[in-house]
């Protein structure tokens, strides 16, 4: 059967520096592929890093300059950043999954977005986080049902959800119904409970799960970051901006690699699609272990655009 080596890249971003984060992403992709990985997953909002002020300051308490910087450094999709990432995927012949902070070409609302690139460099899909969590709602807008891609690869079907979206049972159910075999879960969640969640998703979906966190020490916040002392306090916030928590889990819920914390590292594991198929002989949540005569899910996959044009014929004179 089909096997593949995957990589969960736990690394530090360069806060609010799009170019530095892009360069680092490409370097890490090459490093993982050199070690044999064919599917490489990087953390949530790795370009240009997490809006950490949402949790270290009172809501909207002097964050204007930071938000303006985020808008300036956010990623337009498609655009130069996606062109560069696609080129790197093509150069390495790998599938790349990476989190970015996205905005529209002429907008200032930010979306927590996961991008999927194919080994030919094509941007295969993007997923905007459906519901930002807690204080994240002061920074990010909501995605819609049009960005829930499930992608065919030679190694199985690839998809996933972002951070606490993985707690949304109906979102999970929809993806299970699309036959997901490899589940990417970029996240910022640091707890032991999160590892339990990743194991639950693997068991519930009978799929492989790749959970990927950034790992950033406070000393890695750039020295010239605007109002750095106000942004982060060792006494109030501790030493770790993001402590890591990456893990790779098989369809039986067994941890194959990790969890890794407090270090930049790349976790690797060999995935075998036959193990997914075998695991579903006893439990398939949307197949033989489902009761569609009792339970049904309706999903609106339409894009929710702010403007809908209605063209009318000119009036008759």
Active site positions, annotated: 44, 129, 163
Q: How far is residue 23's CA from residue 211's CA, in Å, rounded to a whole number? A: 22
Q: How far is residue 119's CA from residue 103's CA, in Å, rounded to a whole number? A: 25
Q: Which residue has the tokens 């950034």?
A: 214
**Is the distance from CB of 213 to CB of 190 less than 8 angstroms?**
yes
* 156: three-class secondary structure by DSSP: strand
Q: How far is residue 61's CA from residue 67's CA, in Å, rounded to a whole number? A: 11
Instruction: For residue 78, say if its preceding peptide bond is cis, omega within 30 degrees of 0.
Output: yes
What is the token pair recorded at 5? 């080596």
What is the sign of the dihedral through the CA atoms of 296, 302, 308 and 309?
negative
């Amino acid at each position: 059967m089909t096997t593949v080596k995957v990589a969960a890249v736990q690394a530090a971003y360069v806060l609010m520096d799009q170019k530095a984060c892009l360069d680092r992403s490409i370097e890490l992709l090459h490093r993982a592929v050199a070690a044999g990985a064919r599917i490489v997953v990087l953390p949530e909002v790795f370009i240009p890093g997490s809006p950490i002020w949402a949790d270290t300051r009172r809501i909207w308490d002097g964050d204007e300059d930071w938000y303006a910087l985020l808008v300036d450094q956010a990623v337009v999709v498609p655009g130069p950043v996606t062109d560069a990432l696609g080129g790197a995927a093509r150069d390495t012949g790998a599938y790349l999954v990476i989190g970015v902070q996205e905005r529209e070409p002429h907008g200032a609302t930010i979306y927590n977005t996961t991008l999927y690139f194919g080994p030919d460099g094509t941007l295969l899909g993007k997923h905007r986080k459906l519901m930002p969590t807690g204080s994240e709602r002061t920074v990010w807008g909501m995605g819609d049902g049009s960005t829930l891609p499930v992608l065919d690869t030679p190694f199985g079907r690839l998809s996933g959800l972002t951070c606490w979206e993985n707690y949304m049972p109906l979102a999970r159910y929809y993806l299970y119904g699309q036959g997901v075999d490899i589940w990417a879960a970029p996240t910022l969640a640091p707890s032991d409970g999160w590892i339990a969640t990743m194991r639950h998703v693997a068991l519930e979906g009978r799929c492989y799960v790749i959970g990927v966190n950034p790992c950033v020490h406070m000393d890695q916040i750039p020295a010239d970051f605007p109002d750095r002392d106000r942004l982060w306090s060792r006494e109030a916030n501790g030493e770790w901006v993001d402590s890591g928590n990456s893990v790779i889990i098989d369809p039986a819920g067994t941890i194959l690699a990790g969890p890794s914390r407090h270090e930049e590292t790349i976790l690797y594991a060999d995935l075998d699609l036959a193990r997914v198929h075998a695991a579903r002989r006893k439990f398939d949540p949307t197949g033989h272990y489902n009761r569609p005569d009792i339970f049904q899910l309706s999903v609106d996959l339409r894009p929710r655009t702010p403007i809908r044009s209605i063209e009318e014929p000119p009036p008759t004179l």
